[in-house]
Amino acid sequence: MSRPQHVPVLLDEVLQYLNVRPGGVIVDATVGLGGHSAEIARRLGATGRLICFDRDAQAMDLAKARLDEVRAEVGEAMPAVVFETRAFSELDSVIAPGSLDGLLADFGVSSLQLDEAQRGFSFRLDAPLDMRMDRRRGETAEQVVNREDENELADLIYEFGEERRSRAIARAIVRARPIRTTAELAGIVSAVARPMKGEKIHPATRTFQALRIRVNDELGEIRSLLAGAPSLLKPGGRLATISFHSLEDRLVKDALREAGRDRIFAVLTKKPVVADEQEQMRNPRSRSAKLRAAERLGTETGKQGAGSKYKR
């Protein structure tokens, strides 16, 4: 399987805020194509441990290939690397409490998912409406647009897409059903949601975002990770997240603010870290990225779970 070109977003900043050191234990909760993990592995050394999660089996295969390349480069200096093809909401079922030095989560859709037509994530590429990150289970976007009633569709497009024209879009979708492909849906949305003055994004962008979030329960997954992260990190361990739209970033900002007030985390980024002009020119997808980071406070490490696969 050939690997798509992939440039990890905010790489230097991620490595800085995670404070990756030899011998550390790091989880990449969204390994994707392995860009961040490859550089983390180089810094962990032979005594370190890297645990890679992703619910997308295709992405996991490509990440394994990328980490194999790192292994070939560094030889005996390669840390132990384990791959878990599962959602990051399941972290606490396999990671021991208080065992992590760092936890990275790069939210949202990956380059692989956007650029492969058959995945059905993009209105730029005509394909069946799928949008599942884990194609082994769950409803497809086609099932959602053809089964939900008009009010439910309007609500999810408004809530998850922050689309003000959600009622008109939902009405048009219901009238046009059945809808099978990304091009069909994009055309239906574009016909009733003309670009507003000064708007640069495609009229279907917010609707596609809303469906993707709904199909993959993305916000629920993020809430689960944010709730469980403090118990998984050692005192002094770091959490770093990268968000790509306001719904994701708001969840992270609010969770870190509350954890900071409760003296669970020390927030390291008072404002989100964004890509500089040079990175944005090299990698246009970095333009909307926002990095937030925090450090675990306290002295308790929790009890090592007897069933944990990765206790030290």
pLDDT one-digit tens code per residue, 255-305:
999 999 999 999 999 999 999 999 999 988 889 999 999 999 985 433 333
Answer yes or no: is pLDDT of 103 > 60.
yes
What pLDDT does 1 receive? 46
**CATH number 1.10.150.20 is the correct assignment for the domain at 117-216:** no
Q: Quick one: tokens of 39?
A: 């550089």
Domain limits, CATH 3.40.50.150, in the chain: 11-112+218-296
Query: Per the CATH hierarchy, to which homologous superfamily does domain 11-112+218-296 belong?
Result: Vaccinia Virus protein VP39 (3.40.50.150)
The predicted pLDDT at position 303 comes to 36
d(C-alpha 160, C-alpha 213), whole Å: 7
pLDDT, position 125: 78
| Whole-number pLDDT of residue 5 | 55
pLDDT on residue 118: 61
Contact predicate 92/18, CB 8 Å: no
Average pLDDT of 61-84?
A: 96
pLDDT for 108 equals: 74
Half-sphere exposure of 144 (CA within 13 A, CB side): 27
Contact 133, 55 (CB under 8 A): yes
Question: What is the percentage of the chain residues whose pLDDT exceeds 90?
Answer: 77
CATH 1.10.150.170 segments of the chain: 117-216
pLDDT at 130 over 80: yes
Return d(Cα 68, Cα 24) in angstroms, integer: 20
The whole-number pLDDT of residue 6 equals 65
Work out the percent of the chain whose per-residue pLDDT is above 70. Answer: 89
Average pLDDT over every residue of 32-55: 96
Per-residue confidence band for 121, with pLDDT thresholds at 50, 70 and 90: low
What are the DSSP calls for 74-139, one per residue? HGGGPPEEEEE-S-GGGHHHHS-TT-EEEEEEE-S--HHHHH-GGG---TTS--BS---SSTTSS-
pTM for this prediction:
0.89
190-223 pLDDT, tens digit each: 999 977 766 778 899 999 999 999 999 999 999 9
Helical ranges in 21-75 per DSSP H = 35-44, 57-74
